[in-house]
């Protein structure tokens, strides 16, 4: 309701601005002329740069003539006497070129008689005061133009055909997903019931077991110790992961600082930090190398990635090395764990890459385990259904364009190289920039929204997207990418650039924005809906 | 108090950290503190000789018996020059800067008389007094013991040397061996020992060592301006226009003003720290007298300024008749090396001083016409398509522009004279598509060369041996944009010649005649060097240490580039080269700008005093980056900056690579229109600006003029730095405060002015309140002025070449007005052969507007022929008291009126017609607009107004 009213307001506004523009067209006509009309009440020899349809405005009804902008009355003779009498006509006027053989055009009147042939006026009529002779090239220009139009029409027709497929795909997808959603909701109700049932069963089984346990407390102490130990190892494990992540983050911050810092700052603090980073990195790498060679000596080492390392590109070696380092830390933790296990008289069992094996000596009754397993299964099922529902809801809520024409492209990824960098992005997903030198990649942001126009009713609304909140620039904003779509018969990135620091723009061709009959019909329908309000 | 700010103060030296400055300040302190102190320098009595306008002789330092020679030249144009050197220095001291800085060596005047020695007057036995000048109005008095010089004009003291005894000339010496006990410091504090103190033979700063193989060699002198309360000049500093005191004052600085060309990142305002350029020129002004000195030295220089109310010269009785004591200004000049070479310009008016200074150092070169229009720059327009889009953006937004600029990223790996092949695959095509619209391209060419043998510029210059050298003879290596770099030694004439030849169109691949050049980083900026510049002990041509030539280095880069552009075509065209570093004489080569300023209101405000200081020091063609280089200006600041920049001599928008895009149309309406109006106003006024530049090129009058220059008798104007004149007709007061919509403008003499935008009369004396809504800012047309405009806005200045003119006439209280119009082809040197038109425009109380020719020498008329149809299409006369009945126009050599006897069409009392472009409401109905008198600009004509 609200949105529609707003739309209406904007329509009025845009009408007004069109009106203003029209007014300007009229006022310009003064510096103008056209070689037309037999109407003897019009000084046709004086009039230039006016379309035939407007000639009547210059009809002589009086000795004086009123400027079309109302700014003054001037003698009729003063029309087009190379002097600007009507205020707004002087700077803001437009000049009309007939361009016979091509299409007519308006140019700014300040481009008339400036000693330069305007490409828009192929008939050369814009230079008439003798400074320069402009040739009439309308025949050739017109022919080229018509050829170009035909080519555009062909591409647009092909694009529109594909777009209709996209729309059809989007429609199908939407109805399929709606159907799926309904089905899943039924399934979800069943799953929820199952979970509830099994929870009750488990409670019952556990209650019985507790009674049993009281009979046998001998091993409890050991079991408790074991449990604590396990917890401790787990939390250490998590702690290592966390620290490792932190190191990664810090290294990345420093790498960015080093790459992106502005040398013009001559900032000693920054320079010192970078020097420190270089030093640390060297030491860190040495240490890792040592750990790595230690590991390689260890025959029991089950690191599957080792072999892969030789064929990893240099840019990725860091990550691999770090995981080796992590491996060695875990190995150390494992052996400690096993020592503890031995010391308390329990059988040694092993970790496999952090995944625990089920204990054979837990002492829990088979019944309880079975019930618990079946509860887990039911809970997992429920979660899976919920995730699925969320996923579908997310997609259904996503704005794929006026007729879901972009649904087909959701998740499709494209790449474009510019020499120094390769840019890639997945529609409605993530955009990245990859260096072609060192293959390091930089996050340019995730899909944000459509930004082609302020109002969704504006046809331009679905021609531009922003991907935002990428990695923050040193001394600049968080990186972002604006993608502008243009009609074509295939999907292709045609240009990427960085006009402002860390603000990237991309031009992409796609059938999804080609003009089609559908859209116009919808527009009419929408307009009808507004009128009913 | 050190100020808190963005610049890293610790990266740059204070006086205390520069040993020669510290020594000389201490010397001055001892001299001032000791009531019995007498300067040890004396004229050797039997040595003085006056011949052919030259007084020469020997000086002796009575403390160490060291001998010096002095030459006091009496030159034409009321100029004098004092040169002092050691009589027999251990090795030559640097004296070559005069070859770079001076336009010519003026001849000695023979128009002088020595005052006869009066044997009864004991004092006259120990001094030499000479009258000189056309009317013998100037006098120089050389006191022999101690050595001291006074200059007088019409018997009033104007300038005094060694008045306070700070004269100190450290002679070259052999380093003493360290004492056995290793103790190098001495308990005694005699000046001789002070010169051998720590820092004299080696100095460290921020871990960088200056080996100082020549030891102490500084020169210093106190220069007083008795009775002068204000001194100006010595740019470049982000300081006030009237210079502040640097010692002991409540309002002032604790360090001297420093001249040492440096690349200072995010420089601080209100600070005597050195910046990118150095001009050791200082002007003093008081009622009825102006004078100036030029301290011709290119080494690091510090200047202390103090003011006093003492009446040492009995001035109060002469000048003030018992009223309060006049203020005198005392300065102390300290340079690290070289010889002492000082010019004194004796005025007595500001215009005289500018003419005198220009006669020695050269006047502003007449710029290419396009170069005084609007420039669009950014670090960086990233590729050819970007340039095309910006170019088109100006057209679609109907904003004129003449020049698009490419910063360092356009090159292939910061190798100047190359293009990034991926981003600029076809630079000639790009330039040609600009030139269709009369537009130009500027590329940046810096003096540091990437050390890469695959880079032809580096390889050739290395093989030619024209790079700056280390002490050990290797090429100096430092860090700059391309990484490891070397520098051309521009002090070597062969190097300048070779550098200039690199601009030849068959050498500089991808360049066309339509390409002009920007020399940045030529202080030189060396990221790895001490204070971000070259070490002082590295070696230039003829084995001179860098310390001697530092401040002139940037000028030599600039001049070699300008000469290269001038020579690149068979018919020489005027070069356009923008430089960041500058020195005495830079005005002969091109434009400069105030470097890397910030997008802050305070920096917009600072642009006026900075440009005024630079302007009176000879360099009129200067500007500040519109919008501010660092940071993102908000739209109000940007609009105000455009309005200000449109009324400053060099008008270029520029921004840092980390900033958001800010081309004039990116902010939407109403902002685009406001910026468009500012730029269009600049274009409309180009005929006026060009006429003012022509005047500067002949007379040395600054293009933008401080208030005191226009009203030298009005003491209220002496400190004004936030308003100024463009030429002598437009009074400008930029709005430099956020949210401000009105301001006060100071008017002198109760004259009449007219609001330039509304034609409203503005009368009064003192501070007058004027409106300054965001759409405009205070620009007043001075009553009595006639200025030429071109009101047809085109895409570039080149496309306005044949457009008709509008004359804007503001009548003064006597019903009169005058002005001038200068036009030439705007690009060649044909004007030097008389191919120009120069019109004298007068509106007399007989109600006639008359155009007559200035005397023209030469008969080259190609230009005049090319504009034979250019006419005056409109005359606007403001301030008439009644409506005319008839207006006639005729060429003076024809009997018939240009129009028929019915007279010309005109309007009275309505401004908003006949395309005046004025759209503000006003209350002034005394505006006459004459339609199309059709008089031709090149002919003598008269427009007669009949009442």
Mean pLDDT of B740-764: 93
B883: left (phi over 0), alpha (psi -120 to 50) or beta: beta
Decide if A2 is inside a domain. Answer: no
Most confident of A69-78, A292-301, B215-224, B899-908: B215-224
A325 in the same domain as A282:
yes
For B421, the 3-state DSSP assignment is coil
Contact B795 A110 (CB under 8 A): yes
pLDDT of residue A365: 74
Cis? peptide before A30, omega within 30° of 0: no
| pLDDT number for residue B917 | 52
Q: What is the mean pLDDT of residues B28-46?
A: 94
Long-range CB contacts (within 8 A, 24+) of A218-222: A219/A363, A222/A344, A222/A345, A222/A346
Tell me the shortest Cα–Cα distance from B594 to chain A, in angstroms: 17
**What 3-state DSSP class applies to A194?**
helix
Q: Is the dihedral of CA B373, B376, B379, B382 positive or negative?
A: negative
How far out from the chain centre does Cα B126 lie? 41
The tens digit of pLDDT for each residue in A389-428 reads: 998 898 888 899 999 999 999 999 999 998 789 999 999 9
A13: tokens are 């506004």
Please give the residue that has the higher pLDDT: either B924 or A387: A387
Distance CA B295, CA B301 (A): 10
Q: Count of A–B CB contacts within 8 Å?
A: 90
Residue A509 contacts residue A494 (beta carbons within 8 Å): yes
**Do A511 and A442 belong together in one domain?**
yes
- To the nearest 10 degrees (0 to 180), the angle between helices B493-501 and B456-464 is 150
Q: Model confidence at A311, in pLDDT bands (50, 70, 90)?
A: very low
Bond from prior residue into B236 cis (ω within 30 degrees of 0)? yes
**Which tokens hold the place of B447?**
């003096």
What 3 state SS string does B784-821 have? CEEEEECCCCCCCCHHHCCCCEEEEEECCCCCCEEEEE
Whether A24 has a pLDDT exceeding 50, the answer reads no
Is position A146 within any domain?
no
Chain B contact probe: residue of A93, A266, A419, A476 with most B CBs at under 10 A: A266
Closest CA to B862 of B831, B889, B893: B831
Is A502 within the bounds of a domain? yes
Among the listed ranges A28-32, A226-230, B184-188, B669-673, which one has the minimum average pLDDT value?
A: A28-32
Q: How many domains does chain A have?
A: 4
Cβ atoms of residues B358 and B309 within 8 Å = no
Q: Which two tokens stand for residue B848?
A: 């006639």
Residues A389, A184: contact at Cβ < 8 Å? yes
Helices and strands: H and E segment counts in chain B: 17, 50
Residue B214, token pair as written in the block: 């020549």
Chain A (253-312) residues lying within 8 Å, Cβ to Cβ, of chain B: 262-268
Q: Which tokens sit at B359?
A: 């006669």
Same domain, A177 and A124: no
Residue A207 pLDDT grade (very low, low, confident, very high; cuts 50, 70, 90): confident
Q: How far apart are CA B834 and CA B824, in angstroms?
A: 9
Last residue of a domain, one of A78, A101, A136: A136
Higher pLDDT, residue B456 or B122: B456
- The distance of B847 to chain A (nearest Cα, Å) reads 24
Counting residues of chain B whose pLDDT is more than 70, the rounded percentage is: 91
Domain that holds residue A424: 407-532
* Secondary structure (DSSP) of A350-402: --BTTBPPPPS-----HHHHHHHHHHHHHHHHHHHHHHHHHHHHHHHHS---T
Q: Which two tokens stand for residue B850?
A: 């008359």
Mean pLDDT of B815-825: 96
Is A22 in the same domain as A132? Answer: yes
Quick one: pLDDT at residue A300?
Answer: 46
In a domain, A115, yes or no: yes
Give B740's Cβ-side CA count (13 Å radius): 20
A271, A277, A279, A284 alpha-carbon torsion, rounded to 10°: 180
B374 phi/psi in degrees, rounded to 5? -95, 135
A358 confidence band (pLDDT: 50, 70, 90): very low
Mean pLDDT score, B709-726: 97
List the single best residue of A499, A505, A507 to mutate versus B (max B Cβ within 10 A): A499
Contact flag B386-A110 (C-beta cutoff 8 Å): no
Domain ranges of chain B: 23-171+201-243+289-340, 369-699, 728-946
Tokens found for residue A176:
């399929």
Residue A234 has pLDDT above 50, yes or no: yes
Nearest to B658 among A268, A476, A497 (CB): A476
pLDDT band at residue B417 under the 50/70/90 scheme: very high
Residues A442-450: contacts with CB under 8 Å, at least 24 apart: A442/A470, A442/A471, A442/A479, A443/A470, A443/A471, A443/A479, A444/A470, A444/A471, A444/A479, A444/A480, A444/A481, A444/A504, A445/A469, A445/A470, A445/A478, A445/A479, A445/A480, A445/A481, A446/A470, A448/A480, A449/A399, A450/A399
* Res A302: pLDDT: 46
Dist CA B450 CA B416 (whole Å): 9
Which of A321-335, B103-117, B125-139 has the lowest average pLDDT? A321-335
Specify the pLDDT at position A315: 41
Check pLDDT > 90 for residue B162: yes
Going by C-beta distance under 8 Å and a sequence separation of 6 or more, which residues neighbour residue A451? A464, A465, A466, A482
Determine whether the interchain pair A114/B794 forms a contact, defined as Cβ–Cβ distance below 8 Å: yes
Q: How many helices (H) and strands (E) does chain A have?
A: 9, 12
Q: Do A91 and B386 touch (CB under 8 A)?
A: no
CA-based R_g, chain A, Å: 37
For chain A, give the mean pLDDT: 76
Chain B contact for A78, CB < 8 A? yes
> Residue for token digits 């047309």?
B781
Decide yes or no: CATH 2.60.40.1180 for domain B728-946: yes
Query: Do B23-171+201-243+289-340 and B728-946 have matching folds?
Result: yes
Chain B contact set for A85 (CB, 8 A): 913-915, 931
| pLDDT tens-digit map of A40-56 | 455 555 677 788 888 77
pLDDT of residue B838 exceeding 80, the answer is yes
Q: B783 near B813, Cβ under 8 Å? A: yes
The Cα-based distances of A294 to A301, A311, B410, B762 in angstroms read: 10, 21, 50, 89
* pLDDT grade for A258, boundaries at 50, 70 and 90: confident
Lowest-confidence segment of A443-452, B364-373, B584-593, B906-915 by average pLDDT: B906-915
Q: Which of A84, A266, A501 sits opposite B658 (nearest CB)?
A: A501
- Contacts (Cβ under 8 Å, ≥6 apart) of B120: none
Active site residues of B: 520, 596
Q: Can you give the pLDDT at residue B669?
A: 93
- By CB neighbour count within 10 A (0-12 exposed, 13-18 middle, 19+ buried), where does A359 fall? middle
Pair B418, B411: CB distance under 8 Å: yes
Interchain pair B802, A115: CB under 8 A: yes
pLDDT surpassing 80 at residue A271: no
Q: Give residue A353's pLDDT.
A: 43
pLDDT band per the 50, 70, 90 thresholds, residue A475? low
Residue B650 has pLDDT above 80, yes or no: yes
- Based on C-alpha coordinates, what's the Rg of chain B? 29
Tokens of B687: 């005929």
pLDDT the model gives residue A359: 43
A interface mutation test: which of B580, B794, B930 has the most A CBs within 10 A?
B794
Has residue A14 got a pLDDT over 50?
A: no
Nearest C-alpha neighbor of B284 from the set B349, B340, B332, B222: B349
Q: CB–CB of B162/B221 below 8 Å?
A: yes
Percent of chain A clearing pLDDT 90 (strictly above): 32
Residues A441 and A518 in one domain: yes
Which residues, 6+ apart, have CB-to-CB distance to B96 below 8 Å? B491, B542, B544, B549
pLDDT in tens, B626-645: 999 999 999 999 999 999 99
pLDDT in tens, A96-108: 999 999 999 999 8
Is residue B232 a contact partner of residue B282, using CB atoms and an 8 Å limit?
A: yes
A375 touches chain B (CB under 8 A): no
- Nearest-by-CA chain A residue for B870: A131
Verify whether the Cβ–Cβ distance B386 to A111 is below 8 Å: no
Per the CB < 8 A criterion, the answer to whether B659 and B646 are in contact is no
CB contact under 8 A, A268 and B8: yes
Looking at domain B369-699, does it have CATH number 3.30.70.2340? Answer: no
Contact state of B436 with A476 under an 8 Å Cβ cutoff = no
Which DSSP helix (H) or strand (E) runs through B519? strand B515-519
Instruction: Name the residue among B832, B847, B856 with its Cα closest to residue B879.
Output: B847
Cβ-nearest to A85 among B659, B660, B915? B915
Tell if the CB–CB gap between B873 and A263 is shorter than 8 Å.
Answer: no
> Does residue A295 sit in the same domain as residue A224?
yes
Pairing of the two strands B779-782 and B730-732: antiparallel
Same domain, A232 and A311: yes
Q: Which helix (H) or strand (E) holds A413?
A: strand A413-417
Q: Is there a domain that residue A10 lies in?
A: no
Question: For position A219, what pLDDT does the model report?
Answer: 65
CATH of B23-171+201-243+289-340, one of 1.10.600, 1.20.5, 2.60.40, 3.30.70: 2.60.40
**CA neighbor of B532 nearest in space, from B523, B545, B520:** B523
Neighboring chain B residues of A497 at a CB cutoff of 8 Å: 382-383, 385-386
């Amino acid at each position: 309701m609200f949105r529609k009213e707003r739309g209406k307001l904007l329509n009025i506004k845009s009408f007004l601005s069109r009106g203003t523009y029209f007014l300007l067209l009229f006022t310009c006509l003064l510096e103008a002329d056209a070689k037309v009309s037999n109407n003897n009440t019009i000084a046709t020899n004086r009039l230039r740069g006016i379309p035939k349809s407007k000639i009547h405005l210059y009809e002589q009804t009086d000795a004086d003539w009123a400027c079309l902008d109302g700014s003054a009355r001037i003698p009729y003779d003063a029309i087009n006497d190379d002097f600007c009498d009507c205020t707004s006509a002087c700077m803001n006027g437009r000049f009309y070129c007939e361009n016979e053989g091509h299409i007519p055009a308006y140019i700014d009147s300040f481009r008339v008689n400036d000693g330069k042939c305007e490409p828009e006026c192929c008939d050369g009529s814009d230079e008439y005061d003798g400074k320069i002779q402009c040739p009439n090239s309308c025949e050739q220009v017109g022919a080229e133009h018509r050829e170009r139009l035909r080519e555009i029409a062909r591409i647009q027709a092909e694009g529109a055909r594909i777009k209709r497929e996209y729309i059809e795909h989007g429609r199908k997808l939407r109805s399929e997903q709606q159907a799926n959603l309904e089905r899943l909701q039924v399934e979800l109700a069943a799953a929820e019931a199952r979970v509830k049932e099994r929870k009750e069963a488990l409670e019952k089984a556990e209650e019985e077991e507790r009674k049993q346990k009281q009979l046998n407390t001998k091993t409890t102490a050991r079991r408790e110790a074991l449990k604590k130990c396990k917890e401790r190892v787990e939390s250490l494990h998590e702690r290592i992961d966390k620290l490792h992540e932190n190191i990664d983050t810090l290294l990345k911050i420093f790498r960015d600082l080093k790459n992106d810092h502005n040398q013009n700052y001559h900032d000693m603090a920054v320079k010192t930090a970078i020097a420190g980073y270089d030093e640390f990195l060297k030491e860190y790498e040495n240490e890792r190398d040592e750990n790595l060679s230690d590991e390689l000596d260890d025959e029991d080492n089950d690191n599957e990635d080792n072999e892969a390392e030789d064929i990893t590109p240099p840019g990725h070696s860091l990550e691999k090395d770090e995981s080796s380092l992590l491996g060695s830390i875990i190995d150390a933790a494992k052996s400690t764990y096993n020592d503890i296990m031995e010391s308390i008289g329990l059988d040694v069992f092993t970790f496999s890459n952090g995944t625990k094996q089920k204990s054979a000596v837990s002492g829990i009754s088979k019944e309880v385990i079975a019930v618990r397993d079946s509860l887990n299964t039911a809970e997992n099922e429920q979660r899976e259904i919920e995730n699925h529902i969320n996923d579908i809801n997310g997609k259904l809520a996503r704005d794929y364009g006026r007729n879901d024409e972009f649904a087909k492209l959701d998740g499709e990824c494209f790449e474009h190289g510019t020499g120094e960098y390769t840019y890639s992005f997945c529609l409605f997903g993530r955009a990245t920039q990859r260096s072609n030198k060192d293959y390091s990649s930089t996050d340019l942001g995730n899909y944000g929204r459509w930004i082609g126009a302020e109002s969704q009713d504006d046809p331009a609304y679905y021609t531009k997207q922003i991907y935002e909140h990428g990695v923050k620039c040193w001394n600049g904003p968080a990186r972002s990418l604006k993608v502008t779509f243009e009609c074509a018969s295939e999907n292709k990135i045609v240009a990427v650039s960085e006009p402002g620091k860390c603000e990237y723009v991309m031009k992409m061709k796609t059938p999804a924005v080609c003009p089609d009959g559908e859209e116009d019909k919808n527009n009419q329908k929408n307009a009808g809906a507004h009128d009913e309000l | 108090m050190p100020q808190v700010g963005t610049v890293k103060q610790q990266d740059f030296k204070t006086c205390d950290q520069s040993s020669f400055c510290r020594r000389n300040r201490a010397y001055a302190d001892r001299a001032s503190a000791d009531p019995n102190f007498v300067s040890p320098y004396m004229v050797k009595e039997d040595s003085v000789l006056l011949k052919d306008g030259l007084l020469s002789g020997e000086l002796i330092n009575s403390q160490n018996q060291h001998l010096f020679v002095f030459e006091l030249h009496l030159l034409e144009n009321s100029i004098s020059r004092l040169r002092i050197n050691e009589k027999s220095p251990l090795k030559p001291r640097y004296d070559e800067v005069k070859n770079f800085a001076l336009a010519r060596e003026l001849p000695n005047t023979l128009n002088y008389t020595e005052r006869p020695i009066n044997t009864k007057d004991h004092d006259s036995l120990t001094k030499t007094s000479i009258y000189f000048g056309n009317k013998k109005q100037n006098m120089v008095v050389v006191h022999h013991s101690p050595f001291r010089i006074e200059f007088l004009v019409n018997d009033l003291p104007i300038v005094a040397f060694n008045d306070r005894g700070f004269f100190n000339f450290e002679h070259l010496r052999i380093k003493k061996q360290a004492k056995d006990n290793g103790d190098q410091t001495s308990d005694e504090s005699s000046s001789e020992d002070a010169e051998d103190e720590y820092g004299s033979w080696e100095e460290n700063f921020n871990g960088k060592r200056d080996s100082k193989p020549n030891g102490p060699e500084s020169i210093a002198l106190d220069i007083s301006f008795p009775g002068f309360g204000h001194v100006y000049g010595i740019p470049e500093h982000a300081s006030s226009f009237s210079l502040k005191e640097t010692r002991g004052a409540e309002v002032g600085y604790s360090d001297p003003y420093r001249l040492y060309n440096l690349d200072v990142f995010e420089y601080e305002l209100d600070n005597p720290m050195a910046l990118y350029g150095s001009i050791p020129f200082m002007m003093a002004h008081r009622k009825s007298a102006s004078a100036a000195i030029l301290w011709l030295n290119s080494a690091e220089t510090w200047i202390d300024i103090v003011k006093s109310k003492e009446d040492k010269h009995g001035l109060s009785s002469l000048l003030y008749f018992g009223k309060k004591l006049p203020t005198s200004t005392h300065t102390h000049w300290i340079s690290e090396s070289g010889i002492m070479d000082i010019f004194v310009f004796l005025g007595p008016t500001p215009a005289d001083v500018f003419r005198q200074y220009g006669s020695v150092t050269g006047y502003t070169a007449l710029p290419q016409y396009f170069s005084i229009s609007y420039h669009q720059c950014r670090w960086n327009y990233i590729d050819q398509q970007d340039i095309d889009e910006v170019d088109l953006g100006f057209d679609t937004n109907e904003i004129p522009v003449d020049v698009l600029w490419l910063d360092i990223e356009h090159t292939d790996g910061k190798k100047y004279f190359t293009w990034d092949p991926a981003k600029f695959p076809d630079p000639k095509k790009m330039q040609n598509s600009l030139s269709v619209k009369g537009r130009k391209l500027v590329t940046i060419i810096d003096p540091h060369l990437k050390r890469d043998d695959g880079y032809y510029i580096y390889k050739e210059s290395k093989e030619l041996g024209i790079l700056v050298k280390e002490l050990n003879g290797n090429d100096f290596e430092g860090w700059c944009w391309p990484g490891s770099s070397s520098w051309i030694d521009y002090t070597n004439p062969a190097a300048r010649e070779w550098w200039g030849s690199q601009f030849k169109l068959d050498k500089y691949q991808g360049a066309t005649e339509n390409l002009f050049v920007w020399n940045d980083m030529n202080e030189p900026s060396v990221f790895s060097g001490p204070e971000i510049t070259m070490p002082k002990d590295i070696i230039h041509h003829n084995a001179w240490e860098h310390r001697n030539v530092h401040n002139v280095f940037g000028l030599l880069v600039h001049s070699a580039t300008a000469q290269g552009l001038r020579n690149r075509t068979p018919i020489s065209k005027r070069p356009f080269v923008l430089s960041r570093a500058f020195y005495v004489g830079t005005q002969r080569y091109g434009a400069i700008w105030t470097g890397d300023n910030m997008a802050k209101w305070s920096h917009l405000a600072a642009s006026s005093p900075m440009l005024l200081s630079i302007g009176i020091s000879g360099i009129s063609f200067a500007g500040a980056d519109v919008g501010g280089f660092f940071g993102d200006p908000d739209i109000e600041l940007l609009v105000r900056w455009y309005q200000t920049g449109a009324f400053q001599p060099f008008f270029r928008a520029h921004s840092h690579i980390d900033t958001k895009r800010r081309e004039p149309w990116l902010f939407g309406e109403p902002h685009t229109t406001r910026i468009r109006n500012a730029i269009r106003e600049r274009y409309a006024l180009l005929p006026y600006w060009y006429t003012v530049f022509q005047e500067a090129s002949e007379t040395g009058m600054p293009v933008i003029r401080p208030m005191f220059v226009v009203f030298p008798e009005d003491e209220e104007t002496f400190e004004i730095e936030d308003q100024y004149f463009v030429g002598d007709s437009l009074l400008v007061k930029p709005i430099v405060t956020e949210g401000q919509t009105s301001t006060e403008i100071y008017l002198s003499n109760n004259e009449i002015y007219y609001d330039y935008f509304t034609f409203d009369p503005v009368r009064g004396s003192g501070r007058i309140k004027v409106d300054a809504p965001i759409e405009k800012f205070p620009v007043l047309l001075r009553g009595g002025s006639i200025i030429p405009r071109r009101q047809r806005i085109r895409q570039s200045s080149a496309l306005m070449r044949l457009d008709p003119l509008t004359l804007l006439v503001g009548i003064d209280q006597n019903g009169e007005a005058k002005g001038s119009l200068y036009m030439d082809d705007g690009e060649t040197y044909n004007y030097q052969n008389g191919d120009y038109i120069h019109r004298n425009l007068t509106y007399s109380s007989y109600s006639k507007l008359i155009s007559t020719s200035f005397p023209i020498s030469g008969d080259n008329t190609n230009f005049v022929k090319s504009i034979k149809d250019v006419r005056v299409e409109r005359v606007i006369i403001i301030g008439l008291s009644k409506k005319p009945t008839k207006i006639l126009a005729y060429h003076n050599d024809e009997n018939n009126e240009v129009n028929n006897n019915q007279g010309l069409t005109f309007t009275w009392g309505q401004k908003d017609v006949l395309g005046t472009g004025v759209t503000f409401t006003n209350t002034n109905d005394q505006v006459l607009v004459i339609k199309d008198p059709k008089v031709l600009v090149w002919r003598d004509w008269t427009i007669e107004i009949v009442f």
